[in-house]
Amino acid sequence: MNTSFDSLQTPCLILHQSRFDANVTRLYEKCKVHKTAIRPHLKTAKSVALAKRMQRAPMTGITVSTLHEAEYFYNAGFNDILYAVTIAPNKIERAVTLATKCPSLILLIDNVTVFKIFDRFVQGIKAEHQFNIRLMIEIDVDGHRAGLLPNEEELLALAQSIVESRNFTFCGLMTHAGESYTCQTPVDLQQHAKQEVERMQEAKRFLQQHDIKCPVLSIGSTPTANAYENLDEIDEIRAGVFVFYDLVMTNIGVCTIDDIALGVLSTVISHKKSHNRVIIDAGGLALSKDRGTASQKADFGYGLLIDALTWIPIGQLVVNQANQEHGVVYLQNTEQFSNLPVGAKVIVLPNHACMTAAAHSEYHVFEDGRIIDTISRINGW
């Protein structure tokens, strides 16, 4: 074990810097080939230092999942920000406060009800502030969660309302192909990616038929971002977890275990010889309770154990049971006790990087067998 690990309090979050860099480069190169911009979703990284590390062509702006993230990145110098959750009535005032300082902030909407509330609110403060709010409409391409269908009447009504209001600028259409997380094969993925693109083209044409110009088509999800073949008319890709990848993504087939750039450093705290188990100090709080791999082809429990220095899996050991501050690892044979003495450090690769990262307030940066830096991240709303 490298001595630099010894200074870390376990459990803590480790970022494998060269894997992170390689993951970013790989998707950026793909976007360059397709001649699309990329607007990384920073809901996973939530770190200014990491966002700056990603800041090069074809990255244009950034995507965030909370207003807290939007404010945090704006305060660090980022201006072209898409807040990619449909705006709630009780978040309008806070969003507008940010938009007055950051006019390139783009907000998202998917229904006329909230638009009317929003329009009245902006109208009410128009005398004080001379600005337009930039809005995109969320499209549903796969029935996963929010958004309007590519050809439904409310889409047209909403787009028309935005275009006609003097308080807003219509910036285009966005979607998240969230259902792609259930894909099992490369063919499934390509099909899903194709459907995502085509439904967005369809929505754009639907609006064009009614003389509404759609400046931007923004699409994305880490699974589909790796599977696009034709991106005609698509202006930008959004993806988030691709910077780290995780075990869910390994099962979907868009990365290998050797691409995963995030893990939780943990210490073996007890041997339970009567049960052939080892106990580590990373439990449900440090790993998250996300069991995303439970329904996939390989079930990794609460995460896969790897060697902390080499990042090579330790047999096929996983965290089988996660209490709040205890992770219980069921050994495959008694010889494994000697590879995992009490006090040994291991890293646990996450099922779902977004959830695991959110349990921590900083990344310890691993490079060439050493911890070279500690960088902060944010949480909360």
Residues 110-129 that bind a copy of itself (CB under 8 A): 110-111, 113-114, 117
323 binds a copy of itself (CB under 8 A): yes
Q: Is 325 in the site for a copy of itself (CB under 8 A)?
A: yes
Q: Of 169, 225, 165, which Cα lies nearest the Cα of 197?
A: 225
Nearest distance, CB of residue 274 and a copy of itself, angstroms: 6
Q: 182 Cβ partners below 8 Å, 6+ apart?
A: none
Taking each helix axis from N to C end, the angle separating 153-164 and 112-125, rounded to the nearest 10 degrees, works out to 10
Q: Which of 60, 75, 76, 89 binds a copy of itself (CB under 8 A)?
A: 89
**Rounded to the nearest whole angstrom, what is the least distance from the CB of residue 362 to a copy of itself in the complex?**
9
CA 97 – CA 280 distance, rounded (Å): 45
Query: Which residues within the stretch 335-364 sit at the binding site for a copy of itself (CB under 8 A)?
Result: 341-343, 352, 354-355, 358-361
For residues 65 and 250, which CB has a smaller minimum distance to a copy of itself in the complex?
Answer: 65
4 binds a copy of itself (CB under 8 A): no
Q: Closest distance between a copy of itself and the C-beta of residue 308, in Å?
A: 12
Strand partners, 15: 262, 365
Nearest to 323 by CA among 355, 353, 282: 282
Q: How far is the CB of 117 from a copy of itself (least distance, A)?
A: 7
| Alpha-carbon distance values, 166 to 130, 131, 132, 160, 161 (Å) | 11, 9, 7, 12, 10
Please identify, using beta-carbon distances, which residue of 130 and 324 lies nearer to a copy of itself. Answer: 324
Q: DSSP string spanning 310-354?
A: T--EEEEEEB-EE-SS-EEEE-SSTTHHHHS-TT-EEEEE-S-HH
Among 3, 130, 324, 333, binds a copy of itself (CB under 8 A): 324
Exposure of 205 in the CB half-sphere (CA atoms within 13 A)? 9
DSSP secondary structure string for all residues of 106-142: EEEE--HHHHHHHHHHHHHHTTT----EEEEEEE-SS
- Interaction of residue 222 with a copy of itself, rule CB under 8 A: no
Segment 137-166, which members bind a copy of itself (CB under 8 A)? 140, 143, 145-146, 149, 152
Closest CB to a copy of itself among residues 147, 172:
147
Residue 39: both structure tokens together: 């607007």
Beta-bridge partner residues of 20? none
Interface region with a copy of itself, contact rule CB under 8 A, candidates 125-133, 197-205, 285-293, 308-316: 285-293
Binds a copy of itself (CB under 8 A): choice among 21, 156, 198, 326:
326
Of 95, 108, 112, 89, give the one whose Cα is nearest residue 160. 112
Q: How far is the CB of 71 from a copy of itself (least distance, A)?
A: 11
Q: How many angstroms separate the CA atoms of 372 and 2, rounded?
A: 12
**81, 247, 23, 66: CA torsion to nearest 10:** 10
Q: Which of 39, 43, 199, 377 binds a copy of itself (CB under 8 A)?
A: 43
Q: Residues 86, 167, 218, 250: which binds a copy of itself (CB under 8 A)?
A: 86
Choose, by CB under 8 A, the member of 49, 80, 91, 307 that binds a copy of itself.
91
CB-nearer residue toward a copy of itself: 231 or 244: 244
User: What does the DSSP assignment read for 252-303?
Assistant: HTSS-GGG--EEEEEEEEEEEGGGTEEEES--HHHH-S--GGGGSSS--BT-
At closest approach, how far in Å is the CB of 150 from a copy of itself?
12
How far is the C-alpha of 278 from the C-alpha of 182, rounded, in Å?
32
**Shortest CB 343 distance to a copy of itself, Å:** 4
Residue 288 as a binder of a copy of itself (CB under 8 A): the answer is: yes
Contacts with a copy of itself, residue ranges (CB under 8 A): 6, 9-12, 43, 65-67, 85-91, 94, 110-111, 113-114, 117, 140, 143, 145-146, 149, 152, 178, 267-272, 274-275, 277, 279, 281, 284-286, 288-291, 321, 323-326, 328, 341-343, 352, 354-355, 358-361, 379-381
